Amino acid sequence: MARITLAEVHDVAKLSRLSLSDAEAERMTTDLDHILEYVETLRELDTEGIEPTAHAIPLETPMREDRAVPGIDPELAVANAPASIATAFVVPKVIEGEDEG
């Protein structure tokens, strides 16, 4: 049985904000099925009661003095934007344009 279906790949791609062509999605379904089959080897291990590790090195939240420091210059911050007005990022209309057609 397939571990992941073409429909699931399309769904997950949508969650990832990627649109895949049919050929891409088919290829990805095959690749991911192969990879998921491989990672199933982890099921051999009994991990009941084992704490998950998110970070290998124990970390404490470092504290610092609550002092205002200058951030990045707003003009510099938008300098890389594909579209900007003054110090604002410009994006396509969210309400009207969203999910049209």
Partner 1 sequence: MPAPPGTLRELREALEAGATSSRALADAALARAEALQPRLNAFAGLRGEAARAEADEADARRRRGDVRSVLDGLPMAIKDNMVQSGEPAACASRILEGYVSPYTATAVQRLRDAGAVMIGRTNMDEFAMGSSTEHSVFGPGRNPWDPARTAGGSSGGSAAAVTAGIVPAALGSDTGGSIRQPASFCGVAGIKPTYGRVSRWGLVAFASSLDQIGAIAHTAGDCAAVLETIAGGDPRDSTSLPEPAPAYREALGGDVSEVVVGLPREYFVEEGVDPSVLATVREAVAELERAGAKTREVSLPHTRYGIATYYLIADAEASSNLARFDGVRYGRRARGARGLTEMYERTRSEGFGDEVKRRIVLGTYVLSAGYYDAYYRKAQQVRTLLRGDFDTAFEGCDVIATPTSPEIAFRLGEKTDDPLSMYLSDIYTVSANLAGIPGISIPCGFSQGMPVGLQLLGPALDEATLFRVADAFQRRTDHHARRPPEIE
Binding mask 46-85 for partner 1 (x = CB under 8 A): -x--xxxxxxxx-x-xx-x-------xx--xxxxxxxx--
The enclosing H or E element of 85 equals strand 84-85
Tokens 């998110």 sit at which residue?
Answer: 54
Q: What are the structure tokens assigned to 84, written together?
A: 């900007």
Between residues 66 and 96, which has the closer beta carbon with respect to partner 1? 96
**Backbone conformation region of residue 17, classed left if phi is above 0, alpha if psi is from -120 to 50, else beta:** left
Nearest approach, Cβ of 31 to partner 1 (angstroms)?
Answer: 5
Q: How many CB atoms lie within 10 A of CB 9?
A: 21
- The site for partner 1 (CB under 8 A) is made up of 4, 8-9, 12-13, 15-20, 24, 28, 31-32, 34-35, 38-39, 41-43, 45, 47, 50-57, 59, 61-62, 64, 72-73, 76-83, 89, 91-94, 96-101
